[in-house]
Structure 1
């Protein structure tokens, strides 16, 4: 059995993905990215996506409490030969302990009844001079895992 020559790159991609989530959870807990290091792990496109979410949360007076589970997270594609090396990450996200909390009402809001508690999310990443950056994040609530 031969070793995976890309194993170190895959670990680096997964480390950036995990760090992005650490910072994103901080932002979601206060409905704002200020005071987080989210920009260290995502490109402007992905940051814009997250800021839109945060703006909606702030307007609705909600924050997120609890934690997410990330099961079977793996790099499903890696192209180190491209001009800008790229990777795809697939994640099985568990949200059963992830709660939307209304700061206006002072209570946890119920999860939509059709919302699966485990679903697939896909992220893309690119390797830049400073490391791997997440470029897109796409949750797919229709694809359970």
Structure 2
């Protein structure tokens, strides 16, 4: 029995029976600048697809202020680090802790452990389509954004055989994701990533 992705931040993981254990991915890449599907509800992305390797502020809209650009940059960097982690089934040396809090990182680490035990890694990169974030002030400034994550070009493979791991045909390849961030000092951190059971 399959389950829709339970989060996004890191990777949107799709759970299937333990024998085929998997963690399939969420991150953004310029590899494929495809838009979200016209089928199903839209996430209403406000920008073209970007990759984790591209700066979130590389092509900001004129309506995006410096604080919003900083949030997008932190979000994109978190995705880049996640993509690197899934490529080797380990967060070591990826810089994930620099952009993602322990609360959000815990879900990613669970996926990575599952992948290591199964001898799996991810190849390719996902594409993200983050909207302009909503930023609120306070003692600890917060931000929320909606994303359309496209995992079409993010593939789970068996590390030993290099063969693609079979995944449920019903899994969401493009899905809506929401992210929560907080500003710690001068730095924005991803505190929560949630994959919605909704295509985009």
TM-score, length-normalised on structure 2? Answer: 0.65
Q: Which runs of 5+ in 2 are unaligned?
A: 1-61
Give 3-state SS (helix, strand or coil) of 1:32's partner. coil
The alpha-carbon deviation at position 77 of structure 1 amounts to 2.4
Taking the aligned partners of 1:97 and 1:131, their CA distance within structure 2 comes to: 30
How many residues get paired? 139
Deviation at 1:144, TM superposition (A): 0.8
Structure possessing the higher relative contact order (Cα contacts under 8 Å, 6 or more residues apart): 2
1:111 matched residue in structure 2: 167
Task: Please give the secondary structure, in 1, of the residue aligned with 2:92.
Answer: coil
Contact 1:70–1:94 (Cα < 8 Å) also in 2: yes
In 2, the alpha carbon distance for the partners of 1:39 and 1:32 equals 12
Gaps of 5+ in 1: none
Residue 192 (structure 2) aligns with: 136
Larger helix proportion of the pair: 1
1:130 CA displacement: 3.9
Runs ≥4 residues deviating over 4 A: none
Aligned to 2:131: 74
String of CA shifts for 1:20-70, please: whole Å, max 9, x gaps. 111111100000011111111011111212111111111121111111111
In the alignment, which residue of structure 2 is the partner of 1:55? 113
Give the secondary structure class of the aligned counterpart of 1:110. coil
**C-alpha distance in structure 1 between counterparts of 2:121 and 2:186, whole Å:** 31
Structure 1 residue 23 corresponds to structure 2 residue 111: no
- For the aligned residue pairs, the C-alpha RMSD in angstroms reads 1.6
Q: TM-score, normalised by structure 1?
A: 0.89
